[in-house]
């Protein structure tokens, strides 16, 4: 069954998502990957307020291709989330509720997710064109000098995702492969 | 001597970079569709459906298959009887990459390793030059994304580790990689040579038609065995569980030293991009 999720979502809606659920997500997402995370942490360390509010928001780990003529955005599939693991617990403490990327997360990130009631959704790596066709609006929100690593504000419609780790810490990257491992 | 202009080389590299990032080879598409038919896992089927749909949308809407349009790896087989006029080969290739990534709306992902300052035009390319007989130039552009490149490994095994040691190293590498290299992957393996030779033949093995066995029957048998073992891990499409972790295993070998057994594993995501031209 496909569940729909409108971002920003309530804590109640997020708590109902279970690892393995298919989700079609619509609404607002921010983007951010390596360089944007590094800068966010530098700002926090220096006591500088972030130029955007992360409370109840979702971050999509992506660095899009440049938009061609007449296009809203270029290809924009997910990047490997584990590179954001060292930053993610502090970002979750700011109220971030949804992370979207690909691949396994660290135990520290999962513990922070359970603490804050956040979910981690997997997008299909390499499906950059399909995902771009779900983006209805894109604008640079902050850190424009980072080029493809800038923070964008996206409006998306029916972005296809799978709940990889839910707010109770159930992890499809553990459960799924165990089901199909041949002895 | 046959003269070939540097500008023709640039123009060819430009076209190849764009073609590789927008069009996936029929060999890979065929393997993806066959995997979709075989896949038991609902997550795996859903992921493979999206990957196949992505190829269609990429063609229809003229969008790169993946936003990680990679570092431009360019293989050149240069005939002895070719004289390049009007510039150097290296600069001609870099000029082609510069223009291809700009005109093709491809992401510029190349930066200085420690300062992390973007070069702005996706140069320099990684150029592998080989001198061959004849008066032609064969150019292959193979943009390499780093989701899969980051999960590649090289190990100098001991001769006593033997073929069992090779199998263990390959499987350990695929399992450690898990979801990160965007499975289903193609696994390029180089066995023998020196450290850099093993890595290079592993990368070159990825240029082979996907799923085509090594002409040597012993090596082909090892490819088949490793493919079965990799697909028995359960990692599955995108690491979410399933029967399809790899579409193909390509092994190439090279003689090595009496004291060594180098093995390189170059992971390639399902967007196994390469395009070639002969001038």
| Per-residue confidence band for A174, with pLDDT thresholds at 50, 70 and 90 | very high
Q: Is A101 on the interface with B (CB under 8 A)?
A: no
Please say if A37 is a catalytic residue.
Answer: yes
Asked whether residue A183 carries a pLDDT value surpassing 80, the answer given is no
pLDDT tens digits, B3-50:
999 999 999 999 999 999 999 999 999 999 999 999 999 999 999 999
Q: Is B62 on the interface with A (CB under 8 A)?
A: yes
**C-beta atoms of A79 and B68 within 8 A:** yes
Average pLDDT score over chain B:
97
- Which residue in the set A66, A127, A133 is minimally distant from B61, CB to CB? A133
Q: Is A171 on the interface with B (CB under 8 A)?
A: no
d(CA B185, CA B272): 8
**Exposure pattern of A73-83 as b/e (b: 16+ CB <10 Å)?**
bbbbbbbbbbb
**C-beta atoms of A128 and B108 within 8 A:** no
Tell me how crowded residue A46 is: count the other CB atoms within 10 A of its CB: 7
**C-beta atoms of B65 and A160 within 8 A:** no
d(CA B202, CA B61): 33
Size of interface A-B (CB pairs under 8 A): 165
Q: What percent of chain B has pLDDT over 90?
A: 100
For residue A79, the domain's CATH number is 3.20.130.10
d(CA A164, CA A73): 26
The whole model's pTM is what? 0.96
Which candidate in A33, A37, A97, A102 is catalytic?
A37
**C-beta atoms of A126 and B178 within 8 A:** no
Task: Tell me which fold the domain B147-272 belongs to.
Answer: 60s Ribosomal Protein L30; Chain: A; (3.30.1330)
Two tokens at B64? 């790169």
Distance from the Cα of B92 to chain A's closest Cα (Å) equals: 24
Sign of the dihedral defined by the CA atoms of residues B56, B62, B67, B72, in that order: positive
Per-residue CA distances from A175 to A18, A90, A99, A136, B185 (Å): 12, 27, 19, 34, 21
Sign of the dihedral defined by the CA atoms of residues B15, B20, B22, B24, in that order: positive
Q: Is B270 on the interface with A (CB under 8 A)?
A: yes
Two tokens at B16? 């190849």
Asked whether residue A1 carries a pLDDT value surpassing 90, the answer given is no
SS3 per-residue string spanning chain B: CEEEEHHHHHHHHHHHHHHHHHCCCHHHHHHHHHHHHHCCCHHHHHHHHHHHHHHHHHHHHCCCCCCCCCEEEEEEEEECCEEEECCCHHHHHHHHHHHHHHHCCCCCCCECCCCCCECCCCCCCEEEEEEECCCCEEEEEEEECHHHHCCCEEEEECHHHHHHHHHHHHHHHHHHHCCCCCCCEEEEEEEEECHHHHHHHHHHHCCCCCCCCCCCHHHHHHHHHHHHHHHCCCCCHHHCCCCCCEEEEEEEEEEECCCCEEEEEEEECCCCCCEEEEC
d(CA B25, CA B272): 8
- Which residue in the set A103, A133, A162 is minimally distant from B178, CB to CB? A103
Closest listed residue to residue A72, CA positions, set A118, A131, A124: A131
Task: Find residues 22-61 of chain A whose CB sits inside 8 Å of chain B.
Answer: 22, 35
CB B231 within 8 A of CB B245: yes
Q: What's the pLDDT at B182?
A: 97
Closest listed residue to residue A158, CA positions, set A7, A19, A14, A18: A7
Cβ contacts (< 8 Å) between A77 and chain B: which residues? Answer: 66-68
Q: Is B227 on the interface with A (CB under 8 A)?
A: no
Q: Is A158 on the interface with B (CB under 8 A)?
A: no
Average pLDDT score over chain A:
96
**Where does chain B hold its CATH 3.30.1330 domain(s)?**
147-272
pLDDT tens digits, A81-131:
999 999 999 999 999 999 999 999 999 999 999 999 999 999 999 999 999
pLDDT tens digits, B111-134:
999 999 999 999 999 999 999 999
Note down the domain range covering A142.
2-180
pLDDT tens digits, A60-82:
999 999 999 999 999 999 999 99
The CA-CA-CA angle for residues A134, A135, A141, to 5°, reads: 155
ipTM, interface predicted TM-score of the complex: 0.95
Q: Is B79 on the interface with A (CB under 8 A)?
A: no
Domain count, chain A: 1
Closest listed residue to residue B68, CA positions, set A101, A91, A9: A101
d(CA B183, CA A73): 25
Average pLDDT over residues B191-207: 98
Alpha helix ranges (H) inside chain A = 11-15, 34-46, 88-92, 107-116, 128-132, 172-180
Question: Is there a cis peptide before residue A40, judged by omega within 30 degrees of 0?
Answer: no
Average pLDDT over residues A138-162: 96
Q: Is A172 on the interface with B (CB under 8 A)?
A: yes
Distance from the Cα of B7 to chain A's closest Cα (Å) equals: 25
Residues with Cβ within 8 Å of A51's Cβ and at least 6 positions away in sequence, in order, are A141, A142, A143
**C-beta atoms of A181 and B234 within 8 A:** yes
């Amino acid at each position: 069954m496909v569940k729909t999720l409108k971002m920003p979502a309530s804590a109640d809606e997020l708590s109902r998502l279970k690892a393995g659920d298919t989700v079609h997500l619509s609404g607002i997402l921010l983007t951010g990957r390596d360089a944007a995370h590094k800068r966010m942490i530098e700002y926090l360390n220096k006591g500088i307020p972030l130029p955007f509010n992360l409370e109840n928001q979702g971050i999509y780990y992506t660095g899009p291709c440049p938009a061609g003529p007449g296009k809203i955005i270029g290809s924009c599939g997910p990047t490997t989330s584990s590179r954001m693991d060292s930053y993610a617990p502090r970002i979750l403490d700011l109220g971030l509720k949804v992370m979207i990327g690909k691949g396994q997360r660290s135990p520290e990130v999962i513990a922070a997710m359970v603490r804050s009631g956040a979910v981690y959704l997997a997008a299909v790596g390499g499906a950059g064109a399909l995902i771009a066709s779900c983006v209805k609006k894109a604008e640079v929100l902050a850190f424009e000098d980072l080029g493809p690593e800038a923070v964008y504000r996206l409006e998306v419609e029916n972005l296809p995702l799978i709940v990889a780790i839910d707010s109770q810490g159930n992890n499809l990257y553990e459960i799924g492969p165990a089901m199909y491992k041949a002895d | 001597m046959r003269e070939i202009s540097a500008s023709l080389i640039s123009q060819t590299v430009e076209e190849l970079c764009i073609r590789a990032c927008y069009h996936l080879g029929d060999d890979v598409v065929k393997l993806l569709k066959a995997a979709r038919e075989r896949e038991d896992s609902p997550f795996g089927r859903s992921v493979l459906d999206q990957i196949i749909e992505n190829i269609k949308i990429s063609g229809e809407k003229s969008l790169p298959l993946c936003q990680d349009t990679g570092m431009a790896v360019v293989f050149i087989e240069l005939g002895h009887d070719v004289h390049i006029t009007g510039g150097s080969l290296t600069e001609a290739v870099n000029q082609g990459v510069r223009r291809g990534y700009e005109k093709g709306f491809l992401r510029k992902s190349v930066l200085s390793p420690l300062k992390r300052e973007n070069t702005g035009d996706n140069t320099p390319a990684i150029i592998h030059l080989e001198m061959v007989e004849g008066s032609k130039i064969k150019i292959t552009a193979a943009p390499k994304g780093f989701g899969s490149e980051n999960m590649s490994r090289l190990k100098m095994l001991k001769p006593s580790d033997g073929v069992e040691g090779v199998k263990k190293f390959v499987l350990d590498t695929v399992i450690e990689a898990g979801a990160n290299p965007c499975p289903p992957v193609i696994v390029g393996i180089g066995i023998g040579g020196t450290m850099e030779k093993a890595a290079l033949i592993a990368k070159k093995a990825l240029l082979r038609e996907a799923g085509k066995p090594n002409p040597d029957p012993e090596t082909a048998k090892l490819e088949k065995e490793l493919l079965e073992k990799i697909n028995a891990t359960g990692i599955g499409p995108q690491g979410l569980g399933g029967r399809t972790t790899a579409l193909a295993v390509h092994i190439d070998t090279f003689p090595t030293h009496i004291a060594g057994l180098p093995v390189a594993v170059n992971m390639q995501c399902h967007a196994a991009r390469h395009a070639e031209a002969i001038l």
